[in-house]
Amino acid sequence: MLISDIFSYAVNAIRRKKTRKILAILGVAIGIAAIVSLISLSQGFQESVKTQFQKGFAADTVIVTTQSTDFLETESDFELYLNDTALIDQIDNVKNSVALMQKTCFIRIEERETSVVVVGIDFEEFAKIYPNTFRAKEGVIRNSPDSYDVVIGARISDPWKNGTVFGEIGEKIEIKWTTRSALQVENKTLSTNLAAILEDVGSASIGGPTDNGVYIPIETAQDFFDTTEVPTIVVQLTESTEDIVDETSKRIQEVFGGRIQVVTPRAVLNAISSIVSTIELFLTGISAISLLVAGVGIMNIMLTSLMERTREIGILKALGMFRRTVLAIFLNEALIIGIVGSTMGILLGVALATAIDQFGLVAGLASGTQSTLIGEVRIVPVFSPLLLGFASVFGVIVSIVFGLYPAWRASRLNPVDALRHE
Amino acid sequence: MATILKTEKLEKSYKMGKLQVHALNGVDLEIEKGEFAAILGPSGSGKSTLLNMLGALDRPTSGRIEIDQIDISKLGDKQLSVLRRRIGFVFQFFNLIDRLNATENVALPLAIENINKKKRQKIAEELLQIVGLGKRTQHKPSELSGGECQRVAIARALINKPHFLLMDEPTGNIDSKTAKDLMRLITQLNEEKDVTIVMVTHDTKIARSAHRILHLLDGKIVSKGDY
């Protein structure tokens, strides 16, 4: 049989049995779409953990805090003060330290009022420790700022990432804080000028700047909050080797009689990594199941649509068609179904994963758990050529294998036996 | 006259569940070129089984089949395929491909032999004209009557200029008036186009159109008196 005839015979078979073939193509497409969307999201998740987490982390820092880092521990009643940085600076291997005065306040930018954590810091020192993330996208972060300067994270100015921007450089931002002295409740308002908007950190950060942070000079914070007590001190070390970090952490604990917590980014990273690898395992499992389900689905539809054509194969053989020509016809059909189905599946999968990213199902989930210490994690699906290639090859191969198997079986029968098949 | 088809001690048995069925018990027959032979027998006598053997659609359990003096029991799958292209087979249930129209169905054996589309469609249409379906070339089997389908099947069987035509109850699925017309066509093909025909039927009236009637009973050719 001529190749053109084999091809047109196969196309004819697909066109004339539309419903069944569309179902077969849909079966392949859905399977492939499941593979593409799930694996691209899970790869995106791995990618975001790899790049975004590490970007916000400074391995040469440790965080000294009075806050409990463990749910089971009781809150320490020990207090850290601003000038404790001088004490820490004296310890070996400590290069620098910055106190973070954190208070939960309301801020008002234009019409939007929202609850945030306001952080009082020394801009110059903080920028030295986090040169990559404490950096202005708009405006300037001055080393010796005006006392009313305020620096805000990228998500404070553009909270929904859709260009609805709050706050222009130089605009007034009100910070409202409620305190109590003796029996009196006092509402205080600090009027500040927006000096700078930070670049997108994009993700998590421990101790360093986050996209949801609001930063004011430490002196201003000291006056406004009327205290020198600080919950957190970020300490920069001379080296980032594990030995130095551990040894220095131990020394800092000794200095404070073990009444404070010393958190190392590496420990946090390890904790996150172990969660991440569990989730990864879970996602890999889902991908494997989707592969299996897709495979079985494709197999099922190809088997049933070919079983009923055993009789046709009998006719073709009775008319003198070679076995390999019969197989070539069915191979062609399976190939067309596989290629069309895989292509549709890839488009569908890319659309699905992009939609999940765009409508923020995953991002929404992650931002629900955001805090000042760890920012938002965004999962952007990764459509690697390898994944797309694999998905289409998988779709085509499964279609061929399960499309060809019944045809192969029928073609080996005596024409009489194939003809008898109902 | 030359012998075109010959069987010797042809036997066929197969298993039906646990039962061993002997469909053919040593059939000896010879068909001459240009002959129109009818094999007559009640249902279950092994007629169709015999015809399938003669058409190389099935293999015998033992015995010999010679087509044009060639023993076909020694042929492989590929050689059998080539052989089938020179045998015109007409089935009781037509065995047309539903998706294809009359012309495409008739032209299918030529497509298998790599004849280009234009040429094979022309030949197919001529043949449809001969079997009286010149006006229904674009119809699909589902749009044709039983008699018309059988004419399409006959045209398909003739398109390769076969050595002989095998017909399995060609009138089995059509009404008696249409059957009469069809038998006229078949007789005409034999007389005017010199086509060798072996036809299987259980209908004595239909069998009477043939030059020679062979009686088959319980898988054996018997003389008329025994029948």
Nearest by CB to residue B97, choosing from A315, A323, A417, is A315
Residues whose CB falls within 8 Å of the CB of residue B143, separated by 6 or more in sequence, listed in order: none
**B194 at interface of A, judged by CB pairs closer than 8 A:** no
Q: What is the pLDDT of residue B138?
A: 94
Cα radius of gyration (chain A): 32
Task: Answer left, alpha or beta for residue B171, where phi above 0 means left and psi between -120 and 50 means alpha.
Answer: alpha
Q: Tell me if B169 sits within 8 A of B186, measured CB to CB.
A: no
Q: What is the pLDDT of residue A307?
A: 74
Residues whose CB falls within 8 Å of the CB of residue A67, separated by 6 or more in sequence, listed in order: A75, A76, A231, A232, A261
pLDDT, tens only, B74-92: 888 899 999 999 999 999 8
Please tell me which of A37-41, A271-275, B161-165 the model is most confident about, judged by mean pLDDT. B161-165
**B130 at interface of A, judged by CB pairs closer than 8 A:** no
**B57 at interface of A, judged by CB pairs closer than 8 A:** yes
User: Both tokens of residue B71?
Assistant: 């023993």
| Cβ contact A416–B58 (<8 Å) | yes
**Min distance B167 CA to chain A CA atoms (Å):** 13
Neighbours of B117 (CB within 10 A): 15
Q: Tell me if B167 sits within 8 A of B186, measured CB to CB.
A: yes
Three-point CA angle A358, A361, A367, nearest 5°:
105
Mean pLDDT of chain B: 89
Nearest by CB to residue A318, choosing from B59, B84, B114, is B84
Three-point CA angle A404, A3, B113, nearest 5°:
100
- Please name every residue paired with A175 in a beta bridge, in sequence order, or none if there are none: A107, A190
Dihedral of alpha carbons A267, A273, A279, A281, sign: negative
Q: What is the pLDDT of residue B227?
A: 44
Please say if the pLDDT value at position A52 is more than 70: no
Please say if the pLDDT value at position B203 is more than 60: yes
Which of A38-52, A208-222, A390-404, B136-150 has the weakest average pLDDT? Answer: A38-52
Tell me whether strands A136-139 and A80-81 are parallel, antiparallel or unpaired: unpaired
Instruction: Tell me the CA distances in angstroms from B156 to A57, A106, A317, B5, one per residue in order.
Output: 79, 88, 14, 21
Domain ranges of chain A: 3-55+270-420, 61-238
Size of interface A-B (CB pairs under 8 A): 66
Q: What is the mean pLDDT of residues A337-362?
A: 84
User: Tokens 């169905």 map to which residue?
Assistant: B105
Q: What is the pLDDT of residue A344?
A: 94
Q: Tell me if B171 sits within 8 A of B177, measured CB to CB.
A: no
Q: What are phi and psi of B164, to 5 degrees?
A: -155, 165
Neighbours of A249 (CB within 10 A): 20
Q: What is the mean pLDDT of residues B193-212?
A: 90
Question: How much is the ipTM here?
Answer: 0.91
| Cβ contact A312–B100 (<8 Å) | no
Cα radius of gyration (chain B): 17
Q: What is the pLDDT of residue A54?
A: 64
Which of A14-23, A142-151, A193-202 has the weakest average pLDDT? Answer: A14-23
Instruction: Please give the biggest Cα pair distance in chain B.
Output: 53
User: Both tokens of residue B141?
Assistant: 């089997």
User: Both tokens of residue B200?
Assistant: 């299987």
**Min distance A288 CA to chain B CA atoms (Å):** 39
A319, A323, A329, A408: best mutation site toward chain B, by most B Cβ within 10 Å? A319
**B142 at interface of A, judged by CB pairs closer than 8 A:** no
pLDDT: is A164 or B113 the higher one?
Answer: B113
Please say if the pLDDT value at position A339 is more than 80: yes
A235/B81 Cα distance (integer angstroms): 86
Please say if the pLDDT value at position B59 is more than 50: yes
Dihedral of alpha carbons B89, B94, B97, B101, sign: positive
User: Both tokens of residue A405?
Assistant: 């198997």
| B63 confidence band (pLDDT: 50, 70, 90) | very high
The proportion of chain A whose per-residue pLDDT surpasses 90, expressed as a percent, equals: 13
pLDDT: is A316 or A165 the higher one?
Answer: A316
DSSP for A359-417, written as a single string: TTHHHHHHHTT--SSS----------HHHHHHHHHHHHHHHHHHHHHHHHHHHHS-HHH
| Cβ contact A17–B99 (<8 Å) | yes
pLDDT, tens only, A352-388: 988 887 775 544 444 433 333 444 556 778 888 988 9
Neighbours of B6 (CB within 10 A): 18
Domains detected in chain B: 34-59+76-226 (3.40.50.300)
- Burial status of residue A272 (CB atoms within 10 A of its CB: 0-12, 13-18, 19 or more): middle
Q: What is the pLDDT of residue A365?
A: 44
**Min distance B3 CA to chain A CA atoms (Å):** 23
Please say if the pLDDT value at position B124 is more than 90: yes
Q: What is the pLDDT of residue A208?
A: 82
Q: Tell me if A350 sits within 8 A of A35, measured CB to CB.
A: no
**DSSP state at residue B142:** G
Mean pLDDT of chain A: 82
Query: What is the SS3 assignment for A29-97?
Result: HHHHHHHHHHHHHHHHHHHHHHHHHHHHCCCCEEEEECCCCCCCCCCCCCCEECCHHHHHHCCCCEEEE
Please say if the pLDDT value at position A215 is more than 60: yes
Please say if the pLDDT value at position A72 is more than 70: no
Q: What is the pLDDT of residue B199?
A: 94
User: Tokens 């390769």 map to which residue?
Assistant: B160
pTM above 0.80, yes or no: no
B214/A302 Cα distance (integer angstroms): 46
Contact residues, chain A, for B84 at CB < 8 Å: 317-320, 415
Burial A308-331 (b: 16+ CB within 10 A, else e): ebbbbbbbbbbbbbbbebbbbbbb
pLDDT, tens only, B17-42: 888 888 999 999 999 999 999 999 98
User: Both tokens of residue A86?
Assistant: 């001088």
Tell me whether strands B62-67 and B70-71 are parallel, antiparallel or unpaired: antiparallel
Please say if the pLDDT value at position B50 is more than 70: yes
Q: What is the pLDDT of residue A375?
A: 45
Please say if the pLDDT value at position A262 is more than 90: no
A286/A59 Cα distance (integer angstroms): 33
A217/A121 Cα distance (integer angstroms): 5
Burial B64-77 (b: 16+ CB within 10 A, else e): ebbbeeeebeebee
Nearest by CB to residue B81, choosing from A9, A322, A417, is A322
Q: Tell me if B190 sits within 8 A of B224, measured CB to CB.
A: no
Residues whose CB falls within 8 Å of the CB of residue A19, separated by 6 or more in sequence, listed in order: none
| A179 confidence band (pLDDT: 50, 70, 90) | confident
User: Both tokens of residue A248?
Assistant: 């220095």
Q: What is the mean pLDDT of residues A178-189?
A: 84
Q: What is the pLDDT of residue A289?
A: 79
Please say if the pLDDT value at position A82 is more than 70: yes
